[in-house]
Amino acid sequence: MIRRPSLPTSRRRFLKQAGAAALVSSVSLQRYSAQALPGAGLAASPRPAVKNRAPLAPNAFSTLPLGSIRPTGWLRAQMEVQANGLGGHLDEIWADVGPNSGWLGGKGESWERGPYFMDGLIPLAYQLDDSRLKAKAQKYLDWTLGSQTTTGMFGPASNDDWWPRMVALKALTQYEEATGDPRVIPLMSRYFECQLKTLPTRPLRDWGKFRWQDNALSVIWLYNRTGDAKLLDLAKLLHKQGFDWEANYANFRYTERITPEFIKLNEGQGLGDTALATHGVNNGQALKTGPVWSQVTGEKSDRDGLRVMLGALDKYHGLPNGMFSCDEHLGGPNPSQGSELCTVVETMFSLEQSLAITGEPWIGDRLERVAYNALPGTFTDNMWAHQYNQEPNQVEVSLHSKPWTTDGPESNIYGLEPNFGCCTANFHQGWPKLTASLWMASEDDGLAAVAYAPCEVHTIVRGTAVHVAEETEYPFRGAIRLRVNPASALNFPLRLRIPEWAGSAATIHVNGEAQPAPQAASFATVKRTWKTGDVVEIRFPLTPRIARGFKESISIDRGPLVFSYPIGEDWVKLRDRKEASDWQVFPSSQWNYALAVSDNNAHEIEVTEAEIGETPFTLKTPGVKLGVKGRRLPSWRAVDGVAEPVPQSPVTSDQEEEQLSLVPYAAAKLRITAFPVLKS
């Protein structure tokens, strides 16, 4: 529908420019052509999941190797939209990841943007089995794998920051899982040996200090494949030098909207501990800190770290789309505040990793809420343009300075690199990594459906090849059909996540036979000898629900979807870059409504289902609509393009009652999601 932008690096005044020229390392490893690699395509046969090796604590689940899960149905259509948009063409139109990138041996950007691009491009390419995208990724991979020096360092020689290499390692681990490329594990082993020797005299700093858990993830990944005990020493050193996120949340002090004055931004403290501890992306990445570290300690208190952190963020900064405000520092619970796109995808990754480690079903609920609302809610339909910040109550997308805490006026326009280019490089991981996390191997050698979307799985269970086809239009519909096809009859447990919102009404049938009623907020287990052609049918009740928020406002949910009132949209091109143009969006209809909805009459909300289009999160084919009654509230206005904080409920209005149609949050680019409630 719309398109995308390339703006100058306009914001993040506190960010040091981290890279310039990058030269090919003087000593490099032997190069391999993509054609010569034994694993240049998807692995010839499924590879089993790799469990934690002692003395690491066992995880509840283990992620399946990249390529084990392929999208189908609407999810594949959505990922093809990404591949046909910026996700598959960014290197052609954006210099920061183009031919002169430092991560291709050039003299261009040599910090985080090349690794960010790889981190999403690799899983997108291999899940779609797209030769064009694989070839793009291979250029970065070949250069990176050939860049290692005799010291063990790799990457652009002009930049020795630990942080961007943490992202590059995430990309390399995915690539190794998909292809078995024999260069990856030796490079990682030499690099981690370099880190262990070098960190005592050149410790983690700023971004790397606050994102150490990402480094630790790759260290643990390698330990599980090599058993090198020195890697556990490195994990402990990273923990020692890294920011103590668990202590930060044990005594959480950042309970108010963060201001530039509070973090002393104008005094040059943008990289100080207070600024970085309140930075949204850092917090999104940090959500997995406790679970990741619990693999080393085995302590329950560490595994509970995610619940503690999200509890505080929800209480003081929570928004109805499943996110917390961070534009780009913590911004309070007002739904007119925004969330940075980088924070959305990093929060998803933290939830995916934490779910694997702890096995707690509520994490899957939150993952779906973020993935099916906040993630697509920040893109144009064709994914050629994105926002840096999205707002649940977003009544205008334009060049304005409010309500951002530390961001600039381009923060919520749709474009190529609005406000700052980190999200342009980093957004690509959202859909592919969700796909890679839909199914996991359980500790007792079974399979677990931890989040739901149309897909197919090829994996190894108890030494036997197993194929599962998941047929569903979830989250738009509540029916899920699993076709289980082992290569030969095989006994193993199948674990199915039952969302908390499903209550007692979820049902499971196997080959038409009803199973015991599953409990909400749990994993229902079906253990049997599975044979080719077995069918599991799951049904979830998708009844509208009321959620309370800021100033007793309400939002309306149905399953994992959040619903919004769509405001009329007038798109105005700001900068012309053909497909990747920048856009402002102005309202062409009224938006200030209060709803006549309560817990007592939520069951009266009208539900209308319709066809789900090839682009599922769009106003053209929203899939489902909700009908509610409301009245305009003229006293609720916008100031400088931003909706005032939602009025305290209940409210009164003398306007005529109207029938309003709500659509899924992500379908409406201008929207109201948190509504005041009319006094009954």
Q: What is the pLDDT of residues 133-183, one digit of tens each?
A: 999 999 999 999 999 999 999 999 999 999 999 999 999 999 999 999 999
| Whether the predicted pLDDT of 34 surpasses 60 | no
* Domain C-terminal end among 510, 539, 568: 539
Name the residue range of residue 662's domain. 544-672
Tens digit of pLDDT for each residue in 289-346? 999 999 999 999 999 999 999 999 999 999 999 999 999 999 999 999 999 999 999 9
pLDDT class for 8, splitting at 50, 70, 90?
Answer: very low
Report the alpha-carbon distance of residue 180 to residue 204 in Å, rounded.
30
**312 DSSP assignment:** H
Averaged pLDDT for residues 60-83: 98
160 backbone φψ class: left, alpha, beta (φ>0; ψ -120 to 50): alpha
- Same-domain check for residues 665 and 568: yes
- Rounded CA gap, 349 and 207, in Å? 17
Give the model's pLDDT for residue 37. 35
pLDDT at 492: 98
Averaged pLDDT for residues 481-492: 98
Q: Which two tokens stand for residue 348?
A: 């998803």
pLDDT tens digits, 551-609: 999 999 999 999 999 999 999 999 999 999 999 999 999 999 999 998 888 889 999 99
Q: Which of 7-16, 111-120, 612-621 bottoms out in mean pLDDT, i.e. has the lowest?
A: 7-16
Instruction: Please report the pLDDT score of residue 415 as a whole number.
Output: 97
pLDDT of residue 599: 85
Is 22's pLDDT higher than 50?
Answer: no
Task: Name the CA dihedral angle for 251, 257, 258, 259, rounded to a multiple of 10 degrees.
Answer: -150
Spacing of C-alpha 380 from chain mean position: 17
Residue 20: the pLDDT is: 33
Residues 529 and 583 in one domain: no
Look at residue 240 in the predicted model and tell me its pLDDT. Answer: 98
Specify whether 509 is located in the same domain as 565: no
Overall average pLDDT of the 353-358 stretch: 98
Residue whose C-alpha is closest to residue 677's, from 528, 500, 572, 551: 551
Query: What average pLDDT score do residues 426-451 get?
Result: 98
Are 611 and 590 members of one domain?
Answer: yes
* Stretch 21-46: mean pLDDT: 37
Please compute the mean of the pLDDT values over residues 92-104 and round it to a whole number.
97
Phi, psi (rounded to 5 degrees) for 441: -85, 135
pLDDT at 254 > cutoff 70:
yes
Does a structural domain hold residue 554? yes
Q: Identify the band that residue 613 occupies on the pLDDT scale cut at 50, 70 and 90.
A: confident
Q: What average pLDDT does range 648-676 have in this prediction? A: 97
pLDDT at 46 (0 to 100): 87
Band of pLDDT at residue 623, cut at 50, 70 and 90:
very high
Examine residue 256 and state whether it is found in any structural domain, yes or no: no
Please check whether residue 649 lies inside any domain of the structure: yes
Provide the mean pLDDT of the chain: 93
Residues 650 and 530 in one domain: no
In the predicted structure, residue 2 carries a pLDDT above the cut 50: no
pLDDT of amino acid 18: 35
Residues 521 and 630 in one domain: no
CA of 483: how far to CAs of 22, 317, 469, in Å?
A: 50, 41, 5
Where among 490, 514, 539 does a domain terminate? 539
pLDDT band at 402 (very low <50, low <70, confident <90, very high): confident
What angle, 0 to 180 degrees and rounded to 10, lies between the N-to-C axes of helices 162-179 and 131-145?
A: 130
Assigned domain for 519 exists: yes
Same domain, 531 and 608: no
Within the chain, how many helices (H) and strands (E) appear?
Answer: 19, 26
Does position 187 have pLDDT exceeding 80, yes or no?
Answer: yes
CATH number for position 529: 2.60.40
- Give the chain's domain count: 2
- Quick one: average pLDDT of 197-220? 98
Does any domain span residue 436? Answer: no
Q: Is residue 553 part of a domain?
A: yes
* Residue 630 lies inside a defined structural domain of this protein: yes
- 635 in the same domain as 560: yes
Same domain for 575 and 634, yes or no, is yes
In a shared domain, residues 599 and 559: yes
Per-residue pLDDT, 45: 77
Q: How far is CA 638 from CA 588, 590, 643, 644, in A?
A: 14, 11, 4, 5
Q: What percent of the chain has pLDDT over 70?
A: 94
pLDDT greater than 70 at residue 526:
yes
Query: Is 96 among the domain residues?
Result: no
Residues 655 and 627 in one domain: yes
Burial class for 344, CB neighbours closer than 10 Å (0-12, 13-18, 19+): buried
* Type of residue numbered 76: R
509-521, pLDDT tens digit by residue? 999 999 999 999 9
Of the three residues 539, 569, 591, the one that is the final residue of a domain is: 539
Detail the DSSP E strand segments found in 257-394: 339-340, 389-390
pLDDT score recorded for residue 451? 98
Q: Are residues 486 and 559 in the same domain?
A: no
> Is residue 119 pLDDT above 90, yes or no?
yes
